[in-house]
C-alpha cells in the first residue's frame, strides 16, 4: 500500500492523425520508446518514481471489434509489474484507430468501452486509469480548431466530438469497474483561463470560461449553466444524451487530475479570437476555481517547460509549479500528486503535433539519448526530500492504492471483494467477485 504523495512522470502515447487523416503522429515512435522501453522504465526508477502515466498506443492495439494485438502491451506491462511501478493507464490519447475513423463516429463510445474492459481483464493488477486523456483539448483541437483527426471547425462538430469523448470515458469507467471495482480514475484535463483583453471582450471571454468546464461537468454529472445548456442543445446534443451524463455520475471513483502549462491562459479579443497570454493567474489560482466547482481530490497531472538559452528555464518552472502545489495544499485543497510530463524530450510539441517536422523539444527529465537533464536531477532531489512529508492516503483517498507487488496479498483481495459488494449493492449488478 503506497502511503504517501504520488510523484509521477509520463511516457506520452499521443496518436492523432493530421493531413486529412493520411499521417499518424505516434509520439512513442518519434521519441524512441518502442526501442528503448526497458531503459525508459529503468530511468523512472532511477528518479525514485513509483507512478507512471502510461498506456499502449490505441491504434496499434485495438485492431477491430473484439480484435486486439497485445504483444507490445504484454511485454511492457509485465516489466512495469516486475519493477513494481504503478501505471496510471492512459487508454486513449488524442486519436483512434483508422477503422473507427474519428471522434465524430457515434459508435466510438461503445467500442472504446469494450476495449477498456478487455484491457482490465487482461491486466487485473492495474488499478489506476485515465481512460481518455484531456477530453476538452481533444475535442477542441480535433473539431473546433481543425488541427487533428476530423479537422473540423464548428461548434456542432465540437459538441459532437465532446459528447462522444466524454461518453466513451464514462462507459470505459463503468466497464473497468465491473472487472476492478476498487479502480480509481484520474482525469488528466487541461485547466484553462480566458482573460478579456478589453471591456468589449468580456462577453466572449465569459463564454470561453464557461465552455472550458464542459468536459468535466458532463463527466462528473454536474448540471451545466443555462447558457451552456442552450449551447449544447443548439449544437446537436439531445436531451436524452444530456440526461445520460447526469444519471451516470462516477465522481466518487475519481481524482480530478489537472494539467497546467504556460500556454493554458489566453487573451480574448472583442471578436472572440484568442492568443496565448502567458502565465497570469498561475496553477494555484486556476486549480482553486476547478476544485471549488467539483470538490474532488486533485492531482497535478502534467506540466513542463522547454529549456531555452539560459538552460535553467525548465528547472525554474519545476520550482514554480511545486511552490504552487504546496500553496493549494496549504489553502486546504486535498492535492494527492504531481507530474513532470514527460520522462523524455518530446517531438513536435512546438506545433501541438499538428505538423510532422521532427523538431525535438527539450521538455523531458531526460533527453532522447536518455541522458538526464538538470530538471531531472532537480525532480529526483525534490522527490527524495518531500516524499515522506506529504502523506495523502489517510487524508483524502478512501480506497488504498495497491502496488503491483501487493495485488495477491490478502488485504488487497479483501479490498476488491468489499468493493464488489459495495458496487453490487449500489447498482444492483450481479456478483462477480474473484
Classify 162 as helix, strand or coil. Answer: helix
Q: Which residue has the higher pLDDT, 396 or 69?
A: 69
The pLDDT, as a whole number, for residue 243 is 98
What are the residues whose beta carbons fall under 8 Å from the beta carbon of 394, sequence distance 6 or more?
none
Helix ranges, 189-331 (H): 202-211, 214-219, 226-234, 239-247, 283-294, 313-330
pLDDT at site 212: 98
User: What are 110-151's pLDDT values in tens digits?
Assistant: 999 999 999 999 999 999 999 999 999 999 999 999 999 999
Read off the pLDDT of residues 237-254 as tens digits, 9 standing for 90 and up. Answer: 999 999 999 999 999 999
Residues above pLDDT 70, as percent of the chain: 96
Helix (H, G, I), strand (E, B) or coil at 366: strand
> pLDDT digits over 297-345, tens only?
999 999 999 988 888 999 999 999 999 999 999 999 999 999 999 999 9
Q: How confident is the model at residue 395 (pLDDT cuts 50, 70, 90)?
A: very low
Query: Given this model, what pLDDT does residue 388 score?
Result: 78
Q: Are strands 254-259 and 184-190 parallel, antiparallel or unpaired?
A: parallel
pLDDT of residue 325: 97
Q: Cα(320)–Cα(332) distance, rounded to whole angstroms? A: 19
Give the pLDDT mean for 204-215: 98
Assign 434 a pLDDT band (cuts: 50, 70, 90). Answer: very low
Note if the pTM is more than 0.85: yes
pLDDT value of position 300: 98
Rounded CA-CA distance 267/241 in Å is 33
Which pLDDT score, from 0 to 100, does residue 432 have? 39
Q: Give the Cα separation of 161 and 155 in Å (integer).
A: 10
Q: Mean pLDDT throughout 210-217?
A: 98
Of 327, 184, 335, 349, nearest to 250 (Cα)? 184
Phi, psi angle pair for 75, to nearest 5°: -65, -45
Instruction: Identify the pLDDT of residue 308.
Output: 82
How does the average pLDDT of the chain come out, rounded? 94
pLDDT band at 231 (very low <50, low <70, confident <90, very high): very high
**pLDDT at residue 426, as a whole number:** 72
Distances (CA, A) of 380 to 4, 231, 377, 387: 16, 46, 5, 11
433, pLDDT greater than 50: no
The model's pLDDT over 61-112, given as tens digits with 9 standing for 90+, comes to 999 999 999 999 999 999 999 999 999 999 999 999 999 999 999 999 999 9
At 166, which helix (H) or strand (E)? Answer: helix 155-179
The CA-atom distances, in angstroms, between 47 and each of 51, 240, 340 are 11, 48, 12
Cis-peptide into 342, omega within 30 deg: yes
Inform me whether the pLDDT recorded for 279 exceeds 80.
Answer: yes
What pLDDT shows up at residue 400?
A: 84
Confidence of residue 3 (pLDDT cuts 50, 70, 90): low
Grid cell, residue 138, equals 481533444
Residue 64 φ/ψ region, left for φ over 0, alpha for ψ in the -120 to 50 degree band, beta for the rest: left
- pLDDT for the residue 419: 87
Closest residue by Cα to residue 216 from 166, 285, 255 = 166
Asked whether residue 413 carries a pLDDT value surpassing 60, the answer given is yes
Q: What is the pLDDT of residue 4?
A: 79
| Backbone region of residue 278 per phi and psi (left: phi > 0; alpha: psi in -120 to 50; beta: other values) | left
Instruction: Give me the torsion for CA of 360, 362, 363, 365, rounded to 10°.
Output: 120
Which residues does 346 contact at the CB level (< 8 Å), separation at least 6?
A: 12, 27, 30, 31, 360, 361, 363, 364
pLDDT at 222 over 80: yes
Confidence of residue 196 (pLDDT cuts 50, 70, 90): very high
Amino acid at each position: 500500500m503506497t502511503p504517501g504523495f504520488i510523484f509521477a512522470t509520463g511516457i506520452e502515447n499521443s496518436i492523432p492523425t493530421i493531413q486529412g487523416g493520411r499521417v499518424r503522429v505516434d509520439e512513442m515512435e518519434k521519441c524512441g520508446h518502442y526501442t528503448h522501453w526497458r531503459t525508459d522504465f529503468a530511468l523512472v526508477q532511477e528518479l525514485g518514481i513509483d507512478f507512471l502515466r502510461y498506456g499502449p498506443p490505441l491504434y496499434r492495439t485495438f485492431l477491430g471489434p473484439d480484435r486486439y494485438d497485445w504483444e507490445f502491451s504484454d511485454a511492457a506491462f509485465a516489466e512495469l509489474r516486475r519493477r513494481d511501478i504503478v501505471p496510471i493507464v492512459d487508454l486513449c490519447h488524442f486519436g483512434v484507430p483508422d477503422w473507427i475513423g474519428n471522434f465524430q463516429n457515434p459508435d466510438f463510445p461503445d467500442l472504446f468501452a469494450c476495449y477498456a474492459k478487455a484491457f482490465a481483464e487482461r491486466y487485473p493488477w492495474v488499478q489506476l486509469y485515465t481512460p481518455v486523456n484531456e477530453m476538452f483539448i481533444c475535442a477542441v483541437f480535433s473539431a473546433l480548431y481543425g488541427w487533428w483527426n476530423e479537422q473540423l471547425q464548428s461548434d456542432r462538430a465540437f459538441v459532437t466530438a465532446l459528447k462522444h469523448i466524454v461518453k466513451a470515458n464514462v462507459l470505459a469507467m463503468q466497464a473497468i469497474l465491473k472487472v476492478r471495482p476498487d479502480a480509481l480514475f484520474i482525469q488528466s484535463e487541461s485547466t484553462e483561463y480566458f482573460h478579456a483583453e478589453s471591456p468589449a471582450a468580456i462577453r466572449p471571454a465569459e463564454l470561453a470560461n464557461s465552455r472550458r468546464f464542459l468536459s468535466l461537468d458532463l463527466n462528473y454529472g454536474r448540471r451545466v449553466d443555462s447558457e451552456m445548456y442552450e449551447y449544447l442543445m443548439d449544437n446537436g446534443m439531445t436531451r436524452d444524451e444530456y440526461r445520460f451524463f447526469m444519471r451516470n455520475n462516477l465522481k466518487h471513483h475519481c481524482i480530478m487530475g489537472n494539467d497546467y502549462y504556460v500556454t493554458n491562459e489566453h487573451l480574448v479579443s472583442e471578436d472572440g479570437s484568442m492568443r496565448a497570454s502567458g502565465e497570469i493567474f498561475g496553477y494555484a489560482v486556476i486549480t482553486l476555481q476547478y476544485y471549488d466547482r467539483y470538490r474532488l481530490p486533485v492531482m497535478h497531472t502534467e506540466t513542463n517547460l522547454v529549456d531555452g538559452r539560459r538552460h535553467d528555464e525548465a528547472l525554474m518552472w519545476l520550482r514554480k509549479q511545486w511552490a504552487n502545489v504546496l500553496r493549494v495544499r496549504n489553502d486546504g485543497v486535498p492535492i494527492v500528486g504531481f507530474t513532470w510530463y514527460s520522462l523524455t524530450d518530446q517531438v513536435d510539441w512546438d506545433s501541438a503535433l499538428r505538423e510532422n517536422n521532427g523538431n525535438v523539444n527539450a521538455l523531458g527529465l531526460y533527453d532522447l539519448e536518455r541522458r538526464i537533464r538538470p530538471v531531472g536531477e532537480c525532480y529526483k532531489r525534490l522527490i527524495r526530500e518531500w516524499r515522506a512529508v506529504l502523506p495523502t492516503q489517510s487524508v483524502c483517498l478512501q480506497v488504498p492504492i495497491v502496488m503491483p507487488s501487493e495485488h495477491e496479498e490478502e488485504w488487497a483481495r479483501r479490498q476488491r471483494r468489499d468493493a464488489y459488494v459495495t458496487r453490487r449493492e449500489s447498482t444492483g449488478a450481479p456478483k462477480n467477485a474473484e
